[in-house]
Structure 1
């Protein structure tokens, strides 16, 4: 995959110990709060556990994969036959170059990802059709100008300059459409370091997307995440990088009125990689698949 710059980061030492990680602990029930509307109550039940997975999955080394294979009847709040989740294949951690450290390992605290960027892309779920309109090069590389088509025309030149001059190394992408008509696109942007990821301006609530000029915070995600933070308390007793430091995750949705399609937008900062997840569907885009997709993509970057 062609890089914008030739500077490479020296590989770290081989990580010690096993990659396996014990499954995350059961989430603590959120504190009592005023009654919520019936439809939102049902949605919170379906999302509470998946939000807890994100909290626990990045504490310590390794990656948690339980959300793809655990039976619904074994998970609190996910006992129904169809809770809106897609069926993803089991996640497989990519091979690393000899001597390279895992991201966020003790000898790689900056979270540098040494695996091929396209190997870090989440695979499509069962029944999905590849997005033939997404212009990809060898190894699923995405030209900068192709990536910038996701933004409003007036935003592109400024954003392009910030990418070219702001440490961008390469972009990889993958897209698909599920039978319900939801279109998903995932982009991974690899920078020369986490500081450049922090400076990236293309994943904020003020981002001008081509198909969603006004964004707002995803209310369901924000409320569930806030509840989990309250239940878990501070990170002080956790070993290894906390979920806040290892993965900065934010979710947005297109503000009403949405027009013919609704856009949902997820962002994951993980060391030297910025992930963007875009989902659109005619009418209303479903909530659960975006949350599930963002969580799984975050785990692959883990």
Structure 2
């Protein structure tokens, strides 16, 4: 007798496959249960799809805009007046002058320039070695005219030899190629030095002054400049005279002065000594005296102004005058 009570399985009917359910429009794409699956191939194709090059377009546009703006700004800038031409923005004048182009006078036939000598010897027309008048200045005569006879002071006799002066004048007038000179001849006397004490004139005799030239002007600010070039027979004579006049405290235009030990004055060549007047205007000396020796020539630069002599102008004149003697 069989004890198996398991029912016999009946043959099952084949199950028909069901069609895939299409996602409805109400499906939530964020719901993982209802969101439609995306084929990997489709997602890859979407990432690789080219996009418009907007960055390059912006760069090109920005470059064009910058070019236009720069061009317009340049066009406006070139039509604007200079800063110095605008009221209230002009650069203040420090007193320096505007000189014409400096030129040296021609040398006599067979003569050499001072730079070619170990001992600097000047053979050119002494008047042509003076600074010309700066722009806007008015030419003036010497502060004290030299005596007509040349005998007012004990040092009048050693005036530049008459034949020397005459020959220089004749040769200058005879040659049409010679440029006009800046200064004029003066006798070697006390007046030429602008000195008060006649004892100073003795140095001109003892050191054998050979000739002298003068130049003078008054600038727009009222500063009066006097230039003197004194020619000696040798560098030693010029050096002795230079050492002596450095002790001269006063001139016909400056009551008293002191050596400027603190100042730093540039010269193209040689040595320089500067004196400042005791009188001042708002802390600025009303007179400045500069003595410069270059070889056989000693130069005097004197500048006076009751309102004060600009320091920059004095430095400029001393440097430029010395540069013509090199």
TM-score, normalising length: structure 2: 0.55
Q: Give the secondary structure class of the aligned counterpart of 1:197.
A: helix
Q: Give the secondary structure class of the aligned counterpart of 1:159.
A: helix
**Is 1:195 the equivalent of 2:225?**
no
**Is 1:255 the equivalent of 2:278?**
yes
| 2:205 match | 164
CA contact (8 A) 1:194 1:271 kept: yes
In structure 2, the CA distance between the partners of 1:82 and 1:208, relative to structure 1 (3 Å rule), is closer
Distance 1:184 1:289 in 2: 10
| 1:101 match | 112
Q: How far has the Cα of 1:176 moved from its partner?
A: 0.6
In structure 2, the CA distance between the partners of 1:263 and 1:141, relative to structure 1 (3 Å rule), is same
**Is 1:144 the equivalent of 2:184?**
no
Distance 1:132 1:102 in 2: 29
CA contact (8 A) 1:186 1:275 kept: yes
Q: How far has the Cα of 1:197 moved from its partner?
A: 0.9
Q: Deviations over 1:45-86 (max 9, x none)?
A: xxxxxxxxxxxxxxxxxxxxxxxxxxxxxxxxxxx5633211
- Equivalent residues in 2 for 1:96-245 (5 A)? 96-105=107-116, 108-132=117-141, 135=145, 140-145=184-189, 147-148=191-192, 150-152=194-196, 155-156=197-198, 158-200=199-241, 203-218=245-260, 221-222=263-264
- How many pairs does the alignment contain? 199
Distance 2:92 2:308 in 1: 22
| 2:100 match | 89
Unaligned stretches of 5+ in structure 1?
1-79, 226-242
Q: Deviations over 1:120-140 (max 9, x none)?
A: 011110011111455479771
Distance 2:323 2:193 in 1: 27
Distance 1:119 1:100 in 2: 16
Q: How far has the Cα of 1:202 moved from its partner?
A: 5.3
CA contact (8 A) 1:206 1:214 kept: no
Distance 1:219 1:280 in 2: 20
Q: Give the secondary structure class of the aligned counterpart of 1:253.
A: strand
| 2:289 match | 265
Q: Deviations over 1:222-276 (max 9, x none)?
A: 3x76xxxxxxxxxxxxxxxxx79x41012221024679x8211111100000000
Q: How far has the Cα of 1:284 moved from its partner?
A: 1.3
Distance 2:295 2:142 in 1: 30
Distance 1:205 1:161 in 2: 14
CA contact (8 A) 1:203 1:276 kept: no
Q: Deviations over 1:193-234 (max 9, x none)?
A: 011111115531443322334322336633x76xxxxxxxxx
Unaligned stretches of 5+ in structure 2?
1-90, 147-164, 170-182
Q: Give the secondary structure class of the aligned counterpart of 1:199.
A: helix
Distance 1:109 1:217 in 2: 30
CA contact (8 A) 1:205 1:215 kept: no
CA contact (8 A) 1:279 1:290 kept: yes
| 1:234 match | none
Q: Give the secondary structure class of the aligned counterpart of 2:186.
A: coil
CA contact (8 A) 1:215 1:252 kept: yes
Q: Give the secondary structure class of the aligned counterpart of 1:180.
A: coil
Distance 2:205 2:294 in 1: 20
CA contact (8 A) 1:168 1:192 kept: yes
| 1:44 match | none
CA contact (8 A) 1:170 1:189 kept: yes
Q: Root-mean-square deviation (CA), in Å?
A: 2.9
